[in-house]
Amino acid sequence: MAASNAQPADKIALRRDVTVWGSYTWGYADVGADIYAALGLVIAASQGLAPAAFALAGLIYIMIGFGYTELASTYPVAGGGQYFALRGLGDFWGFVAGAALLLDYTIDIALFAVASAGYINFFMPLIFGVNIGQIAIALGPFHTIKIFWLIETMVLIVFLMWVNIRGVRHSSRLNEILGAMDLILETTVVLLGFLLAWKPDLLLSQWTQALHTLPVNRFMYGSSLAIISFVGLESISQAAQETRRPATIIPRTSIALIFTVFIFAVGFSTVGLGILPWQHFAQNISDPVAEIAKSIPFLGFIAGPFTAVLGATILLISANTGVMGASRLTFSMSQLHLVTGWLDKVHPRFHTPVRTIVVFSLMGAVEALLAFLTPSVMDTLGNMYAFGASLGYMIVFVSLIALRFRDPYSPRPYMMPVNVKIKSHGNIVNFPILGILGFIGVSFILFEVIFTHQIGRIAGPTWVILCVVYYLLWRHRNRLPLFKSIKHDWEQEQIDVLTSAEEYDLLETYKDALAQRDKKVKSDISKASAADKIHDK
């Protein structure tokens, strides 16, 4: 059965309300905030080798960033990695990529709402004389449920659900204001930390000790967790359909974001281990940046609380991007007949996918609740986060390579560097060398996750398998092909997307490329026909 993904003319569409600064802060709110959650986890695992763990994950992240920049600027629609996989590899693999990234987004909601509440709890001893966030109760076989921390997390998730229903403009504005504040703060903490408190001999001694005593599997565990710090470029691609002039804006914002976050991730781990021993971070996993800030001479008594405030807020907007990403991802999957059409509902007043926002915000809340039933809520959620990101990114790299061959006609405002020109079916294709290296790097991260993460290697594949079962049952019920793709008019969709985005120069380039292709096909047919006539004579 063939089905079209064309939408009715009167169907309510997503509104393009995201500006260039909004696009940057969508990504930064997710990626830049991740250091607040990941720093303590990675240092606790990798000890003195934490800067190396961040650098290793960061190099892979740079290649991921190049790939996403190319794909998101070429195909500026909601869906991100799921949409790229669908176009490059077909419906089934598009769904698998979507399932992996959906796990990532819902865990994003849970993990960063939990981490945001953790930074809020920095102030609880000042208010109540005790950190109520660390008060645990027993419930049946569960003896370490931190009930107040759990309640705080649920309140934050409900607040974000409300903000996102109100509209992307409100959600984006929240990111823009707090993102700007956090950029200033992070730069200040790193610079003043190096100038006033950093002791290179402390960093060197911890590095040397870790080289001699740290087991290889612990470093692998730490470097796989470090990928948490670099998840977020997917958010820019999810917002592409609501970004003004996306083909122009996305390459600028993505490249700036890639190197901003890489510098911060390596910088924080380096300055932190030059100020405090790694054991201190292991004991303060929930608010590591605040611990660095309050250790800076002269400014610590102000910097510590101020960093805790901004840590709480920036993590909140990172959870906000999780709500936004999960809702746009499933909205796209619904429109493309990968999941139920019930999710394809845009609010008539706010122009937001209201059903997907509610459903997957609540799913994030459930995941947070389940994580609070384990001994370490942050570590549990971090395990799941790394699995979803790694699997999704692997499929995206394969999709990028496939699309270079299958769709050489779409104009690419940005192309991943380091290419080799090869000829395929009469076309000159730029084969991406960094795409291959990126795939290998992400595959290594996924191997680390499966090898070292007890929860991730069980819960992650279980999530994907359950999603695939749903997909097969839903497609069978609707008499759609299970492993093959339904018919999509990608060329008309690309024309519609570029028209909607007001990228008229790219639109003309695309139409010219299609016209040249059609002309060549007709010429080849004519030549073949003439050759047949000569042969018949």
Q: Which residue has the tokens 């260039």?
A: 20
More confident residue, 521 or 3: 521
Categorize the per-residue pLDDT at 204 as very low, low, confident or very high, splitting at 50, 70 and 90.
very high
For the segment 333-352, what is each residue's pLDDT rounded down to a tens digit? 888 889 988 887 777 776 67
Reduced to 3 states (helix: H, G, I; strand: E, B; else coil), residue 167 is: coil
Distance (Å, whole) CA 63 – CA 418: 11
Contact 307, 289 (CB under 8 A): yes
Q: Above 90 in pLDDT, residue 201?
A: yes
Contact 464, 96 (CB under 8 A): yes
Distance (Å, whole) CA 224 – CA 218: 10
- CA 524 to chain CA centroid, Å, is 44
> 331 is written with which tokens?
């909205």
Q: Above 90 in pLDDT, residue 12?
A: no
pLDDT of the residue at 51: 94
Distance (Å, whole) CA 174 – CA 465: 36
pLDDT of the residue at 253: 79
For the segment 383-406, what is each residue's pLDDT rounded down to a tens digit? 787 788 889 889 999 999 999 999
Distance (Å, whole) CA 517 – CA 457: 46
β-strand partners of 18: 243
**Which of the listed ranges 22-36, 209-223, 238-252, 337-351 does the model predict with the highest average pLDDT?**
209-223
| Phi, psi (rounded to 5 degrees) for 304 | -60, -60
Q: Above 70 in pLDDT, residue 1?
A: no
Contact 402, 350 (CB under 8 A): no
Q: Above 90 in pLDDT, residue 166?
A: no
The average pLDDT across 265-290 equals 89
More confident residue, 27 or 63: 63
pLDDT of the residue at 263: 87
pLDDT of the residue at 20: 61
Contact 170, 15 (CB under 8 A): no
Categorize the per-residue pLDDT at 49 as very low, low, confident or very high, splitting at 50, 70 and 90.
very high
Which range has the worst mean pLDDT, 15-19, 78-82, 128-132?
15-19
pLDDT of the residue at 207: 95
Distance (Å, whole) CA 251 – CA 249: 6
Distance (Å, whole) CA 346 – CA 484: 28
* Residue type present at position 344: D
Contact 171, 239 (CB under 8 A): no
pLDDT of the residue at 30: 61
Q: Is residue 137 within a helix (H) or strand (E), and if so which, with residue range?
A: strand 137-139
pLDDT of the residue at 219: 92
Contact 26, 192 (CB under 8 A): no
pLDDT of the residue at 7: 43
Contact 223, 386 (CB under 8 A): no
What is residue 455's DSSP assignment?
A: T
pLDDT of the residue at 27: 66
pLDDT of the residue at 46: 93
Categorize the per-residue pLDDT at 175 as very low, low, confident or very high, splitting at 50, 70 and 90.
low
Categorize the per-residue pLDDT at 300 as very low, low, confident or very high, splitting at 50, 70 and 90.
confident
The average pLDDT across 94-114 equals 90
pLDDT of the residue at 377: 84
Reduced to 3 states (helix: H, G, I; strand: E, B; else coil), residue 276 is: coil
For the segment 435-464, what is each residue's pLDDT rounded down to a tens digit? 999 999 999 888 888 888 778 788 889 999
Reduced to 3 states (helix: H, G, I; strand: E, B; else coil), residue 418 is: coil
Contacts with 134 (C-beta within 8 Å, 6 or more apart), sequence order? 121, 146, 149
Q: What is each CA distance from 194 to 189, 210, 269, 271, in whole angstroms? A: 8, 22, 12, 6
Reduced to 3 states (helix: H, G, I; strand: E, B; else coil), residue 144 is: strand
Question: What's the pTM?
Answer: 0.81
The average pLDDT across 223-248 equals 70
The average pLDDT across 268-296 equals 89
Q: Is residue 258 within a helix (H) or strand (E), and if so which, with residue range?
A: helix 246-273
Distance (Å, whole) CA 20 – CA 75: 17
Distance (Å, whole) CA 442 – CA 124: 40
pLDDT of the residue at 418: 92
pLDDT of the residue at 48: 94
Distance (Å, whole) CA 306 – CA 296: 13
Nearest to 52 by CA among 198, 214, 232, 192: 214
Domains in the chain, ordered, with CATH?
39-502 (1.20.1740.10)
417 CB-side CA count, 13 A: 5
pLDDT of the residue at 4: 39
* Residue type present at position 174: L
Nearest to 417 by CA among 430, 427, 403: 430
Contacts with 159 (C-beta within 8 Å, 6 or more apart), sequence order? none
Using the Cα atoms of residue 149, residue 153, residue 155 and residue 156 in order, give the sign of their dihedral. positive
Distance (Å, whole) CA 414 – CA 248: 9
pLDDT of the residue at 210: 94
Residue 202: count of CB within 10 angstroms of its CB: 15
pLDDT of the residue at 287: 77
Q: What is each CA distance from 385 to 121, 221, 438, 439, in whole angstroms? A: 23, 13, 19, 18
- For 12-72, strand residue ranges (E) read none
- The pLDDT mean for the chain works out to 83
Q: Above 60 in pLDDT, residue 18?
A: no
Categorize the per-residue pLDDT at 3 as very low, low, confident or very high, splitting at 50, 70 and 90.
very low
Contact 73, 250 (CB under 8 A): yes
pLDDT of the residue at 235: 65
SS (H, E, C) 183-234: HHHHHHHHHHHHHHHCCHHHHHHHHHHHHHHCCHHHHHHHHHHHHHHHCCHH
Distance (Å, whole) CA 330 – CA 328: 6
More confident residue, 116 or 238: 116
What is residue 350's DSSP assignment?
A: T
